[in-house]
Amino acid sequence: MIGVSDSLRFATNLLERFSACDLPILIEGETGTGKELAARAVHYASSRKDMPFVPVNCGAIPDSLIENEIFGHRKGAFTDAKEDQPGLIALAEGGTLFLDEIDGLSSKGQILLLRFLQDREYRKVGSANVLTADIRFVAATNVDLQKMADAGAFRADLLFRLKILHVVLPPLRQRAEDIRILAEHFLAICSERFKKPRKTFHPDVVTRLRTHCWPGNVRELENMIYRAFLVTDAPEIGLHDIADILDFHPVGGEPIGPECPGSFHGAKSRAIAQFEYKYLSGLMERAGGNVTAAAKLAGTERRYLGKLLKKHHIASTSSRA
């Protein structure tokens, strides 16, 4: 994790300290702030560094497969189970299981994970044998899990077990002094990856980079540098080379605030968020608080709708929703 800003140093110091123990860690931060990078840093700085690091996107696991994905299955457990298959827990044995987008874990998945965290015991699907596992959990999210728990969209008891150790990664807009360091780092990577001579930035480019609000954070900066490097023939990247890549507002002064009020992207994001919240609130009212019924009314998948409801902290009123 590259940078010299106080906010980043504070976070990395916590990560370094937490790597020395085996308690679960919850890493919070906006999209693109480097949550998986932080999780890997914890793993490879710990005594488990020679064991597996297994990342999983919780929002990508179908609810019908969640138990099988986490615990694995025995041969013959179901029609297509032609051989034993290990789950994520077995694959991470002795190492670290990284639960990315933990906010996207279904209610069933939350219950299964909570039970395992309580005693570290589990059963494969189709098996009566109780197994134990020695793994460390690191979870990450780009939403406020406490607000989700308060709204009934995330289990509070699971949050308490995951949030024993807690780190918040700062957004790039709060790390203005790191932007040039990161940009030059990505330029060097581009030169090596694409086998081309190194390039530099015109001083005005660095000034403009510091005034952008970076809604996509470090990942957005990295992607911008890659594009600018490839589309620029000259040895120096100028303002005209990035004009069609980023919409800069304002064009001068200090980095703007968290909501990026002066930018097109900020205004667009707020408008979309307001529309989504109003639409979803009305939809859930029409569906009587039932997520399945609401998904049918909206013509979308229940799981996708559930993620949107969690995003806006809109809780269902039905326990069977």
Q: What is the pLDDT of residue 320?
A: 45
Nearest to 4 by CA among 181, 167, 173, 170: 181
Q: What is the pLDDT of residue 266?
A: 56
The DSSP call for residue 259 is T
Q: What is the pLDDT of residue 60?
A: 86
* 73 phi, psi to nearest 5 deg: -145, 160
CA angle 225, 231, 234 (to 5 degrees): 95
For the record, the structure tokens of 196 come out as: 């081309």
d(CA 43, CA 303): 31
DSSP 97-131: EEEETGGG--HHHHHHHHHHHHHSEE--BT----E
Dihedral sign, CA of 8, 10, 12, 15? negative
d(CA 216, CA 104): 19
Distance between terminal CA atoms of the chain? 41
Length of the chain: 321
How remote is the C-alpha of 196 from its chain's centroid?
32
- Give tens-digit pLDDT for 26-47: 999 999 999 999 999 999 999 9
Judged by DSSP in three states, 184 sits in: helix
Q: What is the pLDDT of residue 268?
A: 62
pLDDT tens string for the chain (321 positions)? 899 999 999 999 999 999 999 999 999 999 999 999 999 999 999 999 999 999 999 988 888 888 888 998 777 667 777 788 888 999 999 999 999 999 999 889 999 999 999 888 888 888 888 889 999 999 999 999 998 998 888 999 999 999 999 999 999 999 989 999 999 999 999 999 999 999 999 988 888 888 888 889 999 999 999 999 998 889 999 888 887 676 543 333 333 344 455 555 556 666 777 788 888 888 888 888 888 888 888 888 888 788 888 777 787 654 444
Instruction: Compute CA distances 93 → 52, 163, 252, whole Å.
Output: 7, 21, 51
Q: What is the pLDDT of residue 251?
A: 35
Q: What is the pLDDT of residue 248?
A: 47
Judged by DSSP in three states, 58 sits in: helix
Q: What is the pLDDT of residue 264?
A: 55
* 200 phi, psi to nearest 5 deg: -125, 170
Q: What is the pLDDT of residue 316?
A: 65
* 19 phi, psi to nearest 5 deg: -65, -20
- What percent helix, strand, coil does the chain show, rounded to 5? 50, 10, 40
Contact, 65 vs 73, CB < 8 A?
Answer: no
d(CA 168, CA 145): 12
d(CA 125, CA 199): 55
For the record, the structure tokens of 75 come out as: 């041969």
* 96 phi, psi to nearest 5 deg: -125, 135
Strand partners, 54: 97
Question: What is the chain's mean pLDDT, rounded?
Answer: 85
Strand partners, 101: none
d(CA 8, CA 12): 6
Q: What is the pLDDT of residue 236?
A: 92
